[in-house]
Structure 1
Amino acid sequence: MENKNDLLFSKDFYWGSATSAYQVEGMNTNSDWWAWEQEEIKGAHSKVRDLSGNSCDHYSRFREDFDWAKDLGQNAHRLSIEWARIQPSENEWSSEAVEHYKEVIAALRERNIEPFVTALHFTLPQWVADYGGWLNPKIVSSYAKYVEFLIENFGDKVTYWFTLNEPLIAAEMSFLKGTWAPAKNKSVPDFFHALRNMIKAHKTGYGVMKQAAQKKGYSIKVGAAHNLIAFTPYNTKSVFDVFLAAALQKIFIKAYLGFFSVKTDDFIAVNFYLTSRVHLTLLNISAAFVGIKDEGEVLTDVGWTMRPEGLYRVLINLINFKKEIFITENGVADVQDRHRAQFIVEHLKAVNQAIVQGADVRGYFYWSLTDNFEWAYGFAPRFGLLAVDYSTLSRTARHSALVYKRICSSNAIAADLV
């Protein structure tokens, strides 16, 4: 029975979880990450902790995983298609991969789960990496052909599409920090060069996808999933800190999303993990992005802060774009499952508060459905609603998954959770 103190969401709100192909499928042998990690792990100072290998074998177990998603009350799921599977070489399109992903999408539809599909989630086909990947302008035309192929083959089955996942993070980790494939060096020029080509790929891809859909008579919506950082004042009583946080937030969101022409996209997709607490005397830009941690503050297993007020701040700053908003990733590495339930509840309270203030949030996707391969971190961080035993690949629902199920199933945060 509904309680007057429950926090309600709209009846058509999307409740889901997210995954990416390389992180969950396993054996993506034609990907640039696959080749890179095989070589990288041999080094004395390897940037990777584990080989992705079979991961959690979602490629074979997707129906089982989607049964879990349905049982957990979810009506949407975000996934990605692996470019390297669809197009293993420049002049080859894999009918086997096409049929596989059609089965994946059909399995979601059969369970009344809406698919939200990412065309490119960090990884590239090895043949693209061989000609320079994001550092070669050729990638824009290669990518355009790929996404056109996706719409021609899947556009009648999928409404919501993402061109890219977290392009800023991809450019930063691969070319500025040098900890992700190809990780050949740390180069500011390469970072900007890669980011520029990502921006071009997104803009070109958006147009190609919409045009391909129009030719076929399909109705689709296209955007990109962006990792957005929140800025909050270190000292809430300091006029200067409050001003700095507000200014940085507006500049970051307006400038960054402006580069990606978000005003012409069909929606805004937000991946949210970090809040940076800033202080006026903090002049080191890299430190500003890491933020200031309070003494004794509880952190995630990978050392990230958990500040739901940051998500509220980001959403409020998106209102003026007058777009549908989706939270496409929001999660916590918590192997003991001590904080995840509260993390979900507190962040959803922030989402609800932002909706009340005018943010047009249409859905929330927890990262992630299952434990998975977390890039250079390997398998140690556990983000999943479902715990995976990597020796048997069995899945078990964590307590936090059951809390999230209550929310999804009731379309509300019950008063006793608030």
Structure 2
Amino acid sequence: MAISLRKICAAWGVLLVSYVGLCFVLWPFLKLETAPGDWKVAGAGDEVLADFSASASSSSSFPQTCPADSKSGLCSPTERRFFFGLATAPAHVEDNLNDTWLEFARGHNGIFPVRAWQNVPIPEERLRFWTQPEIELDLAKETGITVFRLGIDWGRLVTEEPYNGMDQAVDMEAVERYKVILQAIRSRGMRVMLTLFHHSIPKWALIYGGWTQEKTVGYFTEFTRFAQKHFGEYVDYWITFNEPHIFVLLTHCSGTWPPGGQPSWKESLLCFTPYGHYGKAMAAISEAHKAAYNVLHEGDPKAVVGVAHHVGVIKPYGILDIPVVVFSRWLTEFKWIDDIHKHLDFCGINYYGQEILSSAGLMLVPEEEYSEAGRGVYPDGLYEVLVTFHKRYRRARPSLRYIVTENGFADARDIVRRPYLLEHLLAVNAAIQKGVPVDGYVQWTITDNWEWADGYCPKFGLVDSDRWDNLSRHPRPSYYLYQKVVRSGLILDQQRKEEWNTLQSDMRQGGIRPFCRVSDSHGRMWAESLDVPATRKIADKDWRFGKYKNPGVLEYVLRSFKVIGILLEDLGNWCMGSNPHMSLPPELRTGEL
């Protein structure tokens, strides 16, 4: 027995040493392009940190004037003048929309999977963009932006499964209403960036399995052809899919998005294989994008077609978490774009920040700053992503351009959002100076809206919407800051210092902010959100672009012991059949701001 025990211990020792060795071998694969030490525009002087009106995405300077696009009277997308924009999506803002999200939010058998929805007034009206689009459009116009990103809801337009073609399944009244909205965008001097699929699948497609079934590819191709025929004259930029790997992961693998429901252990085990729901759905979506790309170019050879790809910088919490981070990056970073890059005119990047991942789950690190939605603040990451993507695809697809199709910060107090905005624009400017062909930046979003399963808890808007006062709008300071940047094309050193000093002053006075993500006593963040936000102190960390410092090796080692402890406790809870302790971590507390 003693010899057998020694053999078992030795075997475990060999496995542990091998695993640690694997972690160090994989460490270099996590490295992205680091932010430059000197990122100022050469010759611009100390006052101007970025000049988007004079810095080119593909050459030394933008034209001060450009030929008018015959459709809009504005500069054509092909002229490469850097643009600023604002973004939204149907499920976030459209009223009179009886979609899968509304059905999901209303709950079933007393279970309500969408948080901060049942406890707010008129949640189903969202932002009334369908009946009152002029409110959002006027707010957008006043900032001075030249590109407005929105979507068309597939299920609103195609109300039943089109067995016998599109003509018999389409609601033509909805088609005409979308035309009115698109015309309203044009009449306000803004170009249109139109998304065809933004996390909302028709009810009839969800019934038979959605993107896990091949026939959805054909249906989406015909939907694209229909959209090009009826809306093409208004559209400057087409986005076929928005963050499909996020949609597939949360819909098919975790069940936290419509239709909900926990997948079986077998489905969970196979999900990320070619035979699982994730593998099947992503393969179908890749095929659907390629078909849609060809359809749009057949209808208009000058069409500008891309996707909006979510990329966050995933970092390990401890040394022993490196393998799970490498796998997560492989799954979410390049895999989809590798499949479709030859069918892209631009690659849209949706960037919100970093995620610190352990083998026990996502971690809420006390020293880091987070948005209300649980995204870690890391402006350097936007630069890293843009430069890394450009290096990866510039030979295989030399003409590929980039657009930051989403970047924003959930912050009801609007105290972190302002420096967040400036620092991320500085990251974009630095990427342009590095030679990355970035054509524009689109801020998410105009007004606080319905944020998927998080409901109305995270406040992403530059404008506050008072749901207790008939959705009255109240622009925040960040709205006027973005307006200044958009209209001038400049980011000034003085602006940067003022916004950062305001944040630091608030932090030194013990400033706290809302936080919407469910966390446990170990500091793990879960997929669930909160009906009423907890509060969290503003972090004492310099996360500005080019100044962020990662922890040292010793800290990563110490964190690994913490993760081992969490996993052992989880194993004990599982063996005992008890639920893990779900009290708030020390850095969060309940209560009013």
Please give the TM-score of this superposition, normalised by the length of structure 1. Answer: 0.88
Secondary structure of the structure 1 residue equivalent to 2:106 = helix
CA contact (8 A) 1:8 1:413 kept: yes
What is the DSSP-based 3-state SS (H/G/I as helix, E as strand, rest coil) of the residue aligned with 2:127?
coil
8 Å contact from structure 2 (residues 380, 427) kept in 1: yes
Confirm whether residue 266 of structure 1 aligns to residue 349 of structure 2: no
| 1:9 to partner: Cα distance | 1.1
Q: Deviations over 1:5-59 (max 9, x none)?
A: 3111145211111100111012311x2223333334x534635442651011111
Distance 1:338 1:17 in 2: 20
Query: C-alpha distance in 2, partners of 1:117/1:172?
Result: 24
Give the match for residue 405 of structure 1. 483
Match in the other structure for 2:336 = 256
**Structure 1, 126-135 or 19-28: larger mean CA deviation:** 126-135
Check 1:142–1:382 CA distance in 2 against 1; reply closer, same or farther (3 A cut): same
Which of 399, 411, 414 is the matching residue for 2:492? Answer: 414
Structure 2 distance, partners of 1:117, 1:26, is 18
1:388 and 1:394 in contact (8 A); partners too: yes
User: Are 1:223 and 2:306 an aligned pair?
Assistant: yes
Residues 383 and 36 of structure 1: is their aligned pair in 2 closer, same or farther, counting only changes over 3 Å?
Answer: same
* Partner of residue 385, structure 1: 462
Query: Superposition pairs for residues 17-416 of structure 1, below 5 Å?
Result: 17-29=86-98, 31-40=99-108, 42-44=109-111, 46-50=113-117, 52-89=123-160, 90=162, 91-186=168-263, 187=267, 188=271, 189-214=276-301, 219-231=302-314, 253-259=333-339, 261-277=340-356, 284=359, 287=361, 290=362, 294-320=365-391, 321-322=393-394, 323-391=400-468, 392-416=470-494
Deviations 1:61-120 (A, max 9, x none): 211211111111211111001111211123321221111111111111111111100011
Deviates more, 1:390-399 or 1:90-99: 90-99
Could you tell me whether the CA contact under 8 Å between 1:14 and 1:364 is conserved in 2?
Answer: yes
Q: Distance in 2 between matches of 1:50 and 1:62?
A: 22
For 1:399 and 1:3, the matched residues in 2 are separated by: 27
TM-score, normalising length: structure 2:
0.63
Q: Closer, same or farther in 2 for the Cα pair 1:3/1:263, shift >3 Å?
A: same
- CA drift of 1:293 comes to 5.2
Cα deviation, residue 368, structure 1: 0.7
Q: Does the 8 A contact of 2:308 with 2:347 survive in 1?
A: yes
Deviations 1:315-368 (A, max 9, x none): 111223232111111111111111111110011111111111111111111111
**Residue 415 of structure 2 aligns to which amino acid in structure 1?**
R
SS at match of 1:317: helix
- How big is each residue's C-alpha offset from its partner over 1:162-182, in whole Å with a ceiling of 9 and x where there is no partner? 111100000011111210012
CA distance, structure 2, for counterparts of residue 251 and residue 202 of structure 1: 18
Q: AA paired with 2:344?
A: D
| Residue 313 of structure 1: how far off its partner (Å) | 0.6
RMSD of Structure 2 on Structure 1 (CA): 2.6
| Secondary structure class of the residue paired with 2:308 | strand
1:202-228 CA deviation, whole Å, 9 max, x = no partner?
Answer: 1222122222334xxxx3111111101
Q: Distance in 2 between matches of 1:251 and 1:176?
A: 13
1:5 to 47, 56, 67: 47
Once the 2 structures are TM-superposed, how far is the Cα of residue 369 of structure 1 from its aligned partner? Answer: 0.9
The AA in structure 1 aligned to 2:138 is: D
Shift of 1:183: 2.0
Whose RCO is larger (CA < 8 A, sep 6+)?
1
Shift of 1:277: 5.0
Question: 1-side partners of 2:112 and 2:173: how far apart?
Answer: 38
In the aligned structure 1, how far is the partner of 2:101 from the partner of 2:332?
A: 29
Letter aligned with residue 14 of structure 1: F
Q: Secondary structure at the match of 1:416?
A: helix
Q: Is the 8 A contact 1:250 1:317 kept in 2?
A: no
3-state SS of the aligned residue for 1:345? helix
One-letter code aligned to 1:304:
R
The 3 A distance-change label for structure 1 pair 65 and 334 is same
CA 1:44 to 1:293, structure 2 compared with 1: closer, same or farther past 3 Å?
closer
CA distance in 2, matches of 1:203, 1:22: 25
CA distance in 2, matches of 1:135, 1:416: 52
CA offset at residue 298 of structure 1? 2.2
CA distance in 2, matches of 1:336, 1:146: 41
| Aligned-partner residue type, residue 403 of structure 1 | L
Unaligned runs of 5+ in 1: none
- How many Å separate the matches in 2 of 1:166 and 1:251? 13
Larger displacement relative to structure 2 (400-409 or 128-137): 128-137
Rounded to whole Å, the distance in 1 between the matches of 2:452 and 2:211 is 18
In structure 2, C-alpha distance between the alignment counterparts of 1:416 and 1:301, rounded to whole Å: 27
- Whether contact under 8 Å (2:107, 2:113) holds in the other structure is no
Gaps of 5+ in 2: 1-43, 54-61, 63-80, 163-167, 395-399, 497-593
More displaced 10-residue stretch of structure 1: 103-112 or 125-134: 125-134
Residue 135 of structure 1, CA deviation: 2.1
Deviations 1:209-262 (Å, cap 9, x if unpaired)?
222334xxxx31111111012246879xx9x999x9999868964433102x12
Local SS of the residue matching 2:130:
helix
How many residue pairs get matched? 399
Paired with 1:35 and 1:276, the residues of 2 have a C-alpha distance of 30
Change (3 A) 1:13 1:297: same
